A and B are shown apart, each in its own frame.
Chain A
Amino acid sequence: DAMVIQNPRYQVTQFGKPVTLSCSQTLNHNVMYWYQQKSSQAPKLLFHYYDKDFNNEADTPDNFQSRRPNTSFCFLDIRSPGLGDAAMYLCATSTHSGGYNEQFFGPGTRLTVL
């Protein structure tokens, strides 16, 4: 089945220790998104790629970086995680054809910062 996969599902890191979260998709969608979601809150968009074009949200901290080496994969790098970065990180994809742009989400990675 076509899907969005996130690894790992749970990630524990130490304060200040870099961490990378990964996302892959078999949907061949041209747009990929990274969201941060804290408990009982709405997903907050960090950045997205349209093909190779990177679009950063104005309020995304510099501590968060992303890479998209090819259509299928996208990575979220947190250079120096702080306690406030503990959250669920959601990857999503979409294609923009025919005016329909629903997003397909992965299961998320729960990040704990010790």
Chain B
Amino acid sequence: SQQGEEDPQALSIQEGENATMNCSYKTSINNLQWYRQNSGRGLVHLILIRSNEREKHSGRLRVTLDTSKKSSSLLITASRAADTASYFCATDVAGSNYKLTFGKGTLLTVNP
């Protein structure tokens, strides 16, 4: 079964607005990661948050983690057209033998 589920599946906003994507998971994790994928390209790692952390920032990105609810959110502030991409959460499940389990992704479109 899918470990990570992103919500929404697709999000369309105007440049300058904030974009929030959510991820839910089912089992205990070591960490949760967010990746970005431009159309037809490989994935790029954005940010990692450990299970004992609640919030993390990197530039215009803010990630939160609520292990009691088994959920995470990714906030992109002051979005740009270049932020248009698919965003995936990935969980490092305890005992997973170096594997990540990816969610289905959120397709973000930022309109200029």
Q: What is A's interface to B at a CB cutoff of 8 Å?
A: 4, 6, 31, 33, 40-43, 45, 48, 50, 55, 88, 90, 92, 94, 96, 99-108, 110
Contact = CB atoms under 8 A, between A and B. Distances in A.
B44 A105 contact: yes
Which 8 residue pairs spanning A and B have beta carbons closest together? A105-B42, A42-B102, A102-B45, A105-B43, A107-B42, A42-B104, A108-B42, A43-B102
Main secondary structure of the interface of B (DSSP, over half): strand
Interface residues of B, number: 27
Interface in B34-77: 35, 40-45, 48, 50
B1 interface: no
Main secondary structure of the interface of A (DSSP, over half): strand
Interface of B: 2, 4, 30-31, 33, 35, 40-45, 48, 50, 88, 90, 92, 97-105, 107
